[in-house]
Structure 1
Amino acid sequence: MENPPLASLSLTHVHYNPADRLSYLCAWLALVPQGLCVVYATLIWSNREIEILLMFAGQMSCEALNWVLKRYIKEERPREMHGKGYGMPSSHAQFVTFFSLTLTFFLLFRHTPHPTDTHTPFSFFQRFMLSIVALLSAAAVACSRIYLNYHTPKQVLVGCAAGALFAVFWFGFTTFLRRSGLVEWGLDTHLAKILRVRDLVIQEDLVDSGWARWVERRQRKQFIVQQKNR
């Protein structure tokens, strides 16, 4: 029997012009959504923060919306593109717009970090600048889809609009969950306790998570060593 024809897993398969350095950069920018999924998974596993879980749930819901919209609109990609699938709206643009706006809403309107003995959190201005960086990065990813001829400008703009609208909706929805007490109820469930789900990032920076305990442990260890050397 002849071997069956092989298919390509196109998850990270990006067409670009090897003679164009900007095209090469755009090819790397195309991998940002996959990289962010790795970041999501890493933070969820290592920190068990309910806020990150909610954000990831919104991200996947936004992806599901994009899947529905593409199959409803059924607009083809640009002719220069040799890939498969519909192009309206751009999933990359929708993904990064949702992420950057949701992160911005969190940093500016929900995150109220308190200083500790070992850590000084970002000021509001620093969080604002970080939000600008996130939004500019999202714009770079969106523009790269046009440069690589994966999408038309209209498809990218619609993707950005869909991601922005869903980010506003999701932030309002999660705000309702918090104010109604449903998040607190969920944290008190047996499953949440088994999985060690917590809600610290609202008032505590991720970089401070466990740092105070680490400093205290090192100081205690150094004190014991000093006592032995006397």
Structure 2
Amino acid sequence: MAEDVVKMHGQEFDTVEWKAVSFTYVEYPKGDFLGFLLAWISLLPMIILVSFATLIIFRRDLHTIAFATGLVVNEAANWIFKHCFKEARPMRGRQNLHTEYGMPSSHSQFMWFFSSYFTVFLLLRLYRNQSIVDDLWKYVCALLSLVAAVLVSWSRVYLMYHTVSQVAVGAVVGSLLSAPWFYLVHVLLTPVFPIISNSPLGELLMLRDSTLIPHVLWFEYTCSRSEARYGFLVLFKFF
């Protein structure tokens, strides 16, 4: 048995070349606690994408779909830029399992696109309260998104997946791309949202347009309470 040659899909096991799924495969120096934390922080883009997918499935909000589409377009642009620059990633003194190009950093570009769009949306597009104190949560969320973008960018340099220039270019490109996408969504697409949501396909997919609702969370809360009370009264009549 020890002399038997192990084969996989017709090839000898020793000759099989292994590749990692680069988007999820994150390495850090063994015993480095900061590197361990930054490795998890670098997974934020994946967490954000999963969160968007969950929101789209359960809420069907058109602006959420438009925002997520922007993130996908941004990733496509990053792929194009990488194959135009064709700049290698930094060497770490060992076999590098990541074969993609490094300029610009996709993680950095993703996070800065998300953070820039999210910040502008919170401060300019979302409803405004009468006092700054009531709007404090928006400033906190915007600040946290910027901090997250900085940490993810730093993690890519610290873990030696990218150079400083690759991360910096990704941050600039992501921030710049978020501006025209924000304009496209809120100037050109938003007026069309009611038409889409009221179309036969929109009704079939249960798409919703929450653009004109000033406080979506309060609106959904009051609607759910009203529906629950009505259901309770209907149920009470049977007893």
- How high is the TM-score relative to the length of structure 1? 0.85
What's the CA shift string for 1:146-188, capped at 9, x where partnerless? 0000011110000000000001110011122146x33333333
Partner in structure 2 of residue 69 of structure 1:
81
1:210 alignment partner, SS class: helix
Change (3 A) 1:218 1:176: closer
Quick one: which of 11, 21, 36 aligns to 1:9? 21
Say whether residues 1:110 and 2:125 are aligned partners.
yes
Quick one: which of 22, 45, 70 aligns to 2:34? 22
C-alpha distance in 2 between matches for 1:17 and 1:70:
26
Number of equivalences? 222
Q: Please say which structure displays the higher CA radius of gyration.
A: 2
- How high is the TM-score relative to the length of structure 2? 0.82
Comparing 72-81 and 145-154, the one that deviates more:
72-81
Quick one: which of 95, 108, 111 aligns to 1:96? 111
RMSD: 2.7
Structure 1: give runs of 5+ residues left out of the alignment.
Answer: 116-121
What's the CA shift string for 1:117-142, capped at 9, x where partnerless? xxxxx933321221111111111111
Q: Which amino acid aligns with 2:147?
A: L
Q: Which amino acid aligns with 1:195?
A: L
Percent identity over the alignment? Answer: 30
Matches within 5 A, 1:1-230: 2-3=7-8, 4=11, 5=16, 6-80=18-92, 82=96, 83-112=98-127, 123-178=134-189, 181-200=191-210, 203-205=213-215, 207-208=217-218, 210-219=220-229
Structure 2: give runs of 5+ residues left out of the alignment.
Answer: 1-5
What's the CA shift string for 1:187-220, capped at 9, x where partnerless? 3322112111111155355544632233234545
